[in-house]
Amino acid sequence: MTTIERVMIRSIAVIFWAISFGSLAQTNWPNGQTVRVIVPFPGGASTLDSVVRTVTPEVSKFLGSPVIVDNKPGAGTVIGVDATAKATDNLTVGGVANSFTVNQSLIKTLPYNTTKDLQPVVLMARTANVLAVKSSLPVNNLKELIDYAKKNPGKLSYASFGNGTTAHFAGEMLKSMAGIYVVHIPYRGQGPALTDLIAGNVDLMFGNLPDFLPYIKSGKIKAIGTTYLTRAPLAPEIPTIAEQGFPAFETDSWYGIVAPSSMTKDAVDKMNLAINKALQDPAVKKNFGDRGIEIIGGSPSKFQDHIQSEILKYERIVKSTKMQSD
């Protein structure tokens, strides 16, 4: 193929994209009707809820329609995700996090089919996690925590913000890798779980680093380690779990939007475009940047690839750790 032919093909591709983009921007959906975003956690109790509420005002501006957040917590996010899957109004989408892909292998009888009843819209962002302990626990690093747990089997408890969440997954993975027994206590959201950790009602917990950091800095809880393979830019002073003897230990929390399989392609594409635009808004970028939330964005197909890889990853971990829904 000659250089001229390659240039012509690229030019045609650009023109085709511009025409498609223009058509998408001009589509009437949602035509002034209210768009609903179901969040499967309590209001204010999760980073997913915060991420969704941060972008929805800009999404509303782009769509020219109201966008509301509808919190439907419970059953390890199954209730909210199921409500999204069963919506037929072509106006409802749902926020999802890691539990969306964990539940595929963790829960034997889901009321929806993860890959058939729902379709990806966009992967919005992700954050690092941190393992923290109550301030009164006499440990200051991972080795001390593991030693203490081995000397006191079954006496320690760890909180999570629900079955199948990253906090549950990370807790079980640590138990398996370290050979310790710690009792799992699931909560309906990160907020109430963190409140009980600060109060000393539970001993330890994995959670989203941005939300935990103020309490770590104030001494109300103690940080043991972060869960990226390299130190988190938001708190480089906190060592990773990987560097404390578990080099394969890595988790994060990600936040995306899915839609019922019944939602039309033009609606999904318009919503994807609106959210991507919102993620690039200067105020949104500053809000996320200040809180250590990494913006991702991209196409529905990019999110689809991520979902598939996460399902396979968690399937392997659930089997190897014999993780169960409590």
Domains annotated on the chain, with CATH: 34-126+253-321 (3.40.190.150), 128-244 (3.40.190.10)
DSSP type of residue 239: P
Q: What is the pLDDT of residue 203?
A: 98
Cβ burial, residue 135 (10 Å; 0-12/13-18/19+):
middle
Is the peptide bond between 30 and the residue preceding it cis, with omega within 30 degrees of 0? yes
Q: What is the pLDDT of residue 52?
A: 98
Q: Of 227, 234, 235, 156, which Cα lies nearest the Cα of 197?
A: 156
- Helix, strand or coil for residue 50? helix
Place of tokens 């996460």: 310
Q: How far is CA 32 from the centre of its chain?
A: 29
Q: What is the pLDDT of residue 1?
A: 52
Helices (H) and strands (E) in the chain, counts: 11, 10
Q: Strand 92-96 relative to strand 252-260: parallel, antiparallel, unpaired? A: antiparallel
**Residue 179 in tokens:** 């050979």
Q: What is the pLDDT of residue 323?
A: 73
Q: What is the pLDDT of residue 321?
A: 75
Q: What is the pLDDT of residue 3?
A: 43
Q: What is the pLDDT of residue 12?
A: 52
Q: What is the pLDDT of residue 165?
A: 81
- Share above pLDDT 70 across residues of the chain, in percent, rounded to a whole number: 91
Sign of CA dihedral 178, 179, 184, 188: positive
Q: Give every CB contact of residue 47 below 8 A, 6+ residues apart in sequence.
A: 127, 190, 208, 210, 211, 253, 255, 293
Q: Give every CB contact of residue 269 below 8 A, 6+ residues apart in sequence.
A: 24, 300
Q: Of 226, 208, 230, which Cα lies nearest the Cα of 288?
A: 208
DSSP type of residue 153: T
What end-to-end distance do the CA atoms of the chain give, in Å? 60
Q: What is the number of residues in the chain?
A: 326
Q: What is the pLDDT of residue 326?
A: 56
Please state the pTM of the whole predicted model. Answer: 0.80
Contact indicator for 187, 193 with CB cutoff of 8 Å: yes
Instruction: Give the C-alpha separation, 211 to 215, whole Å.
Output: 8
Q: What is the pLDDT of residue 325?
A: 67
Each residue's pLDDT, cut to its tens digit, for the chain (326 residues) gives 554 454 455 545 444 444 444 444 457 999 999 999 999 998 987 889 999 999 999 999 999 999 999 999 988 899 999 999 999 999 999 999 998 999 998 888 999 999 999 999 999 999 999 999 999 999 999 999 999 999 999 999 999 988 878 898 899 999 999 999 999 999 988 889 999 999 999 999 999 998 899 999 999 999 999 999 999 989 999 999 999 999 999 999 999 999 999 999 999 999 999 999 999 999 999 999 988 899 999 999 999 999 999 999 889 888 877 776 65
* Helix ranges restricted to H, the chain: 3-26, 47-63, 78-85, 99-106, 142-151, 166-178, 190-199, 209-217, 265-279, 282-290, 300-321
Sign of CA dihedral 212, 216, 219, 223: positive
* Helix ranges restricted to H, 200-262: 209-217
